[in-house]
Amino acid sequence: MKKKVYVIGIGPGAYEEMTIRAVRAMESCEVIIGYTVYVDLVKEQFPGKTFLTTPMTKEVERCEMALREAWEGRTTAMICSGDAGVYGMAGLMHEIRKERGYLEVEIEVVPGITAATAGAAILGAPLIHDFAVISLSDLLTPWEKIEERLRSAAKGDFAICLYNPSSRKRKDYLRRACEILLEYQSPDTVCGYVRQIARDGQEKHVTTLGRLKETGTDMFTTVFIGNSQTRVIGEAMVTPRGYRYEKED
């Protein structure tokens, strides 16, 4: 009896943003499991499946549920927004598989379009050169470690993509992050942010690091902070890679 779990990145939200491989994997599954919000995004496209959900912060229970379903012979999908291996469930699924003794269950990770690349495409090309992705959520990472990573990225002149910039309990985290970055970067550094990527209500904004400090965001916002070379070209936020070419007179 086949025992298999797919850990699938479904992209930022819209069906059109899913990979063909992700869609085919979900079509092959009997059971689709995920955080309630993410399951609601795919229910319409995959009728006839059994859908199981858990609320936020129940990630371990979700993994156990998926492995149990697969152990009993039902091919199962664990879905994550973005990419399953970027702040997703792929790592935890492997950990729980070992710890709970489900070693006969095969795990296949299916990548997806993460918010960093999806949001970058909406803004223009802010991540075309070396960049760092940092989550401001301190649920699993101490704030002191997040500060250290922000300072290191700023010192290295990386373009930076920020996940989870703020929430109801962390309203000032983006401001605190900007204050750290302003120790190393100009307040005129080009920045941008995108809300509700590939979902209803999507909006984008290009701004500066000085103004970003006073900007209100939420968990559905992805923030992009340019490096010293980032500039605005037309309406796009662009970080040049350094190609040499002759400019026309």
Q: What letter would DSSP give residue 15? A: G
Dist. CA 59–CA 12, nearest whole Å: 19
Could you please report the per-residue DSSP string of 153-205? HHHTT-EEEEES---SS-TTHHHHHHHHHTTTS-TT-EEEEEESTTSTT-EEE
> What topology is assigned to 117-238 in CATH?
3.30.950
C-alpha distance from residue 59 to each of 62, 66, 84, 95, 214 (Å): 5, 11, 13, 12, 32
Mean pLDDT calculated for residue range 225-248: 90
User: Over the stretch 30-45, which tens digit does the pLDDT of each residue have?
Assistant: 999 999 999 999 999 9
Q: What percent of the chain has pLDDT above 90? A: 88
In this predicted structure, what is the pLDDT of residue 249?
A: 64
Q: What is the pLDDT of residues 104-153, one digit of tens each?
A: 999 999 999 999 999 999 999 999 999 999 999 998 999 999 999 999 99
CB-based contacts of 24, cutoff 8 Å, min separation 6: none
**Closest listed residue to residue 193, CA positions, set 218, 168, 171, 172:** 218
Of 166, 163, 167, nearest in space to 149 by CA: 163
C-alpha to C-alpha distance for 229 and 189, rounded to whole angstroms: 9
- Looking at residue 77, what DSSP letter applies? E
In tens, the pLDDT along 196-231 reads 998 889 999 999 999 999 999 998 999 999 999 999
In angstroms, the CA 249 to CA 202 distance is 38
**CATH code, 4-113:** 3.40.1010.10
- The first and second tokens of residue 25, run together, are 């994997």
All CATH 3.40.1010.10 domain ranges in the chain, comma separated: 4-113
> Contact, 221 vs 162, CB < 8 A?
no
Q: How many residues does the chain have?
A: 249
Cross-strand pairs, 203: 195
Residue 1 has pLDDT above 80, yes or no: no
- DSSP-assigned beta bridge partners for residue 109: 7
Express each pLDDT in 63-88 by its tens digit.
999 999 999 999 999 999 999 999 99
| pLDDT score of 102 more than 70 | yes
The pLDDT-based confidence of 2 (bands split at 50, 70, 90) is confident
Half-sphere exposure of 244 (CA within 13 A, CB side): 0
Residue extent(s) of CATH 3.30.950.10 domains in the chain = 117-238
